[in-house]
Structures are given as structure tokens and as C-alpha cells.
Amino acid sequence: MAELTINRLGHLGDGIADEGTLVPLSLPGEVVRGEVTGGRMEAPAIVTPSAERVAAPCRHFPACGGCGLQHGADGFVAGWKEGVVRAALTARKVAAEFRPIVTSPARSRRRAVLSGRRTKKGALVGFHARRSDTVIEVPECLLVTPAILAARETLIEMTRAGGSRKGEIAYTVTETRGGLDVAATGGKPMDPALNADLVRLAHAGRLARLSWNGEPVVTLTAPQVAFDGVAVTLPPGAFLQATVAGETALRNGVTQAVGAARQIADLFAGCGTFALPLSRRAQVHAVEGDGAMIAALDAGWRAGQDLHAVSGEVRDLFRRPLMAGDLKRFDAVVIDPPRAGAQAQVTELAASTVPVVAAVSCNPVSFARDAEILIAGGLRLDWVQVVDQFRWSPHVELVARFVRD
Ligand SMILES: C[S@@+](CC[C@H](N)C(=O)[O-])C[C@H]1O[C@@H](n2cnc3c(N)ncnc32)[C@H](O)[C@@H]1O
């Protein structure tokens, strides 16, 4: 048995004791006691609790691994997330002014990956236990929207029909205006009987669309979302911001950042989360690596009303970034890359004359690296805002404004 004092939380939300041991479910300043194996104290007894410790709001915590930080007060978690961004920027010697964090409410996650497993008696659907492939049922989950939670019975029936005792089905469930869009992978190979069962269950569960192992099974209504009122039908597997509140906060940040710009490039544009609302006031060139998402964005624009011109380009921005010369025609650029960041593209932005960059990021470390490149190219980091759409998890997202003075 060891007794340790927690010094800080690591980037995955685990406590780190003075001498480096990882202690899940602990908070800075706490004294904990337990067995240490392989550098981890997996089941700490809390000897001296932190003043920031709270009773977890969800009864499935901490058995369910879907949430990692329910034992910390909301204000503590918000401050910790901001601190993660500050630390990443400080490591690159970048100073920043922070706007207040925006945290998505409970029960607002409109996209989640649930796991389904056949059992001797029937089937289980839920989230994985912490660091385990055991599936924990979560009938009172506080994370996902009520519509996603209500689909549990349908997913359990699907797992009975199409799951095997050996494998696990991953259900990517997205709430859309037309109902739930469900993409299942890892189920039994399709055959006529399974197809009939799945179509019946999709109807009974009022799903918008169901696909199985990458193949469409049935579309009952278009899986549409609206980006600030502009409707887009999502292609299967398309990127979508995790909560409506998070999307709104990011869009507000981006809109304020670009200000009165009339010619905007939206890089890593997805299905048009930012490009389509921005086209109410400016012409937008949207660039994205996935052709299906650009096609969805284009169809949304064609069906939209009172929008300025939007052009779409399918392009790999890691290998073929828009060059500094191509960027001359834009008076603002929005950039929202995947976790790896956008080193090649920000190098071109740094070398360009673009006066304003609105940056969205889901990785403070790659954001800080890219910020350093932009600043070396003559842009100034005007402000940063943390947007927490992955409540109770260690994920951190942000929006920021860079300006060339
Ligand atoms: C974080 S998402 C943002 C999407 C969009 N801005 C939104 O808010 O919905 C990143 C996007 O980058 C796209 N992407 C990933 N790698 C890319 C690449 N090498 N070139 C262009 N786009 C890429 C993904 O398909 C995804 O749509």
C-alpha cells in the first residue's frame, strides 16, 4: 500500500502524484492510498479529499468509462480545461487573452458511439467500462440526448438479431432532425433474414437511416441537420460537432473573429458548419478532403435561401495546402483541422497576406504549435475561447482569433 499526494491532472484527466504515479479519479491536492502496479494506482481510497470533489451526478459513474471527470466540481473542470490550453501555449511562449469558457449542458451530446454485445440471456448496449472492453449499461446516462438514450431498446434488439457472442457491435448514433442516423459496424454479415429484422427494427425505432457494416440498410427520412438554419443532409460517417450548444459557441466565435470579411476561405470545412452560415454575409470558398461532405455542403447551399456564393473544393490540405499566393484573395480564413493540426496549411497562411484567421481546434498541443507558426508569420493571437462540448471528459476544444496588425 502506498500513500501519495496528487500534484496535478494529466492530459487524460488522471491524477499524477509527485513521483509520477497515475491515479485515476483523483484531484490535485488529494492524499490517496492504494496498491500501485505498473505505475498506476487503479483503485485509490481518498484519504484527504479536495474541496473541489463532488458527488458524481450520474449513478453510472465511475463504473462506466464514458465520463472521466464527474468527481470534480464544474468550476474546477472548466478551470482545468482552460489550464490545459494555457500550458500548451506557454510551452510555445505564446501569450493569450482568454474569453470565458462555454460548456455544453448535460444530456446534449447528439453523437455517441455505443457498444452492443450478445450475452447468454440476450444483449447489452452501453459504454465501455474504464480501461476495459466490458460493456456497462447506462439507462440513466446524463451525457447523450434523450432521443439517443431512448434508442437503447432498439439497439438491444439489433444486437440480439445481428450480434455474435464473440464480437462487439459499435453503433455510431447521431441525432438529426429526421430521427436517429445509426451506423453499425462489427455485426454479423448481412443475410436476407437479418436484413428483414433490421428493416423492421429501423421502422419500429423510427430511425432516419440505418447502415450495417458500411452498407446502407434503409433510409426512412433524410438525416438532416441545420447549421444556423441552413439544412444539410449528412453523408454516412460525416463529421458533426458533438453538441448543438458547442456548434453554436464555435460558430459565434468564428463569426465574431472574421467580422466584416467579404471573401472567406473555410479550410477543413466538413459539411459546412461554418461555411454555410457565413455565406449569409460573405462569399465562401469551402475546402475539405472528403468528397461526400463537400457534395452535402453544396446541396445544402443550393437548397438554402439568401446565401452568397459558396464554392466547394475537395483537396488534401496536408499534402496540397492552399498556397500563400492562392490565399491573397481572402480577407479572412477559417481553419478547423483534425487532431494533428494543420502545419503545412498554417505555414502557407503565415507566409500570406491574409489579415484574419479564425482557428478552431480539438487539440491544444497542435493548436499551440500552429499558433507559434502563425505568430512567426506576423499574426497576433487576439483571443482564445475554450468550448467544452465533451463535458465530463478530458477532451478540450477551442476557437481563437489571429489578426495581422
Ligand atoms: C474537426 S473536423 C471540422 C469540420 C467542420 N469545420 C465542422 O465544424 O463541421 C475536420 C475536418 O477535416 C477533414 N480533413 C481531415 N484531414 C484532411 C485533409 N488532409 N485535408 C482536408 N480535409 C481534411 C475531415 O474530413 C473533417 O471534415
Grid coordinates representing 301 are 447551399
- What's the confidence (pLDDT) of residue 202? 98
C-alpha span between 124 and 127 (Å, rounded):
10
The yes-or-no verdict on residue 166 having pLDDT over 90 is: no
Distance between Cα 227 and ligand 1 center (Å): 16
- What's the confidence (pLDDT) of residue 366? 98
Active-site residue, 362 included: yes
Say if residues 259 and 227 touch (Cβ distance below 8 Å): no
Region 280-300: mean pLDDT is 98
Is the CB of residue 293 below 6 angstroms from any atom belonging to ligand 1? Answer: yes
C-alpha span between 96 and 329 (Å, rounded):
28
- What's the confidence (pLDDT) of residue 131? 85
Choose one of 248, 258, 288 to mutate for the ligand 1 pocket test, by most ligand atoms within 8 angstroms of C-beta: 288
Give the type of residue at 375. I
- What's the confidence (pLDDT) of residue 11? 87
Checking DSSP bridges between strand 15-17 and strand 22-23, what pairing results, if any? antiparallel
The yes-or-no verdict on residue 165 having pLDDT over 90 is: no
What percent of the chain is predicted at pLDDT more than 90? 96
pLDDT digits (tens, 9 = 90+) for 328-359: 999 999 999 999 999 999 999 999 999 999 99
Is the CB of residue 317 below 6 angstroms from any atom belonging to ligand 1? Answer: yes
Region 78-103: mean pLDDT is 97
Choose one of 268, 284, 315 to mutate for the ligand 1 pocket test, by most ligand atoms within 8 angstroms of C-beta: 268
Instruction: Report which protein residue has its CA nearest ligand 1's atom 1.
Output: 338
The strand pairing partners of 315, in sequence order, are none
Region 48-62: mean pLDDT is 97
Distance between Cα 238 and ligand 1 center (Å): 10
How many other CB atoms sit within 10 Å of the CB of residue 221?
15
User: H or E stretch including 3?
Assistant: strand 2-9
Q: At what angle do helices 343-351 and 364-376 cross, to 10 degrees?
A: 20
C-alpha span between 98 and 82 (Å, rounded):
8
pLDDT digits (tens, 9 = 90+) for 101-137: 999 999 999 999 999 999 988 999 999 998 899 999 9
C-alpha span between 379 and 381 (Å, rounded):
7
Instruction: Report which protein residue has its CA nearest ligand 1's atom 13.
Output: 268
Instruction: Report which protein residue has its CA nearest ligand 1's atom 6.
Output: 269
What percent of the chain is predicted at pLDDT more than 70? 100
Distance between Cα 267 and ligand 1 center (Å): 8
Look at 130 and 26; give whichever has higher pLDDT.
26
Say if residues 173 and 115 touch (Cβ distance below 8 Å): no
Confidence of residue 18 (pLDDT cuts 50, 70, 90): confident
pLDDT digits (tens, 9 = 90+) for 169-218: 999 999 999 999 999 999 999 999 999 999 999 999 999 999 999 999 99
How many other CB atoms sit within 10 Å of the CB of residue 294?
24
Region 229-245: mean pLDDT is 95
Distance between Cα 288 and ligand 1 center (Å): 6
C-alpha span between 369 and 341 (Å, rounded):
8
Is the CB of residue 344 below 6 angstroms from any atom belonging to ligand 1? Answer: no
Residue tagged active-site, from 64, 67, 271, 362 = 362
Please report the atom of ligand 1 found closest to the CA of residue 266: 6
- What's the confidence (pLDDT) of residue 164? 85
Is the CB of residue 247 below 6 angstroms from any atom belonging to ligand 1? Answer: no
Tell the residue number behind the cell numbers 430521427, with chain if given: 179
The yes-or-no verdict on residue 247 having pLDDT over 90 is: yes
Is the CB of residue 126 below 6 angstroms from any atom belonging to ligand 1? Answer: no
Say if residues 326 and 320 touch (Cβ distance below 8 Å): no
Q: Is the dihedral of CA 262, 384, 287, 306 positive or negative?
A: negative
Instruction: Report which protein residue has its CA nearest ligand 1's atom 21.
Output: 289
Query: Count of H helices and E strands in the chain?
Result: 9, 22
Q: How high does pLDDT run on average in the chain?
A: 96
- What's the confidence (pLDDT) of residue 101? 98
Choose one of 110, 111, 234, 239 to mutate for the ligand 1 pocket test, by most ligand atoms within 8 angstroms of C-beta: 239
Is the CB of residue 361 below 6 angstroms from any atom belonging to ligand 1? Answer: no
Confidence of residue 19 (pLDDT cuts 50, 70, 90): confident
The model's pTM: 0.96
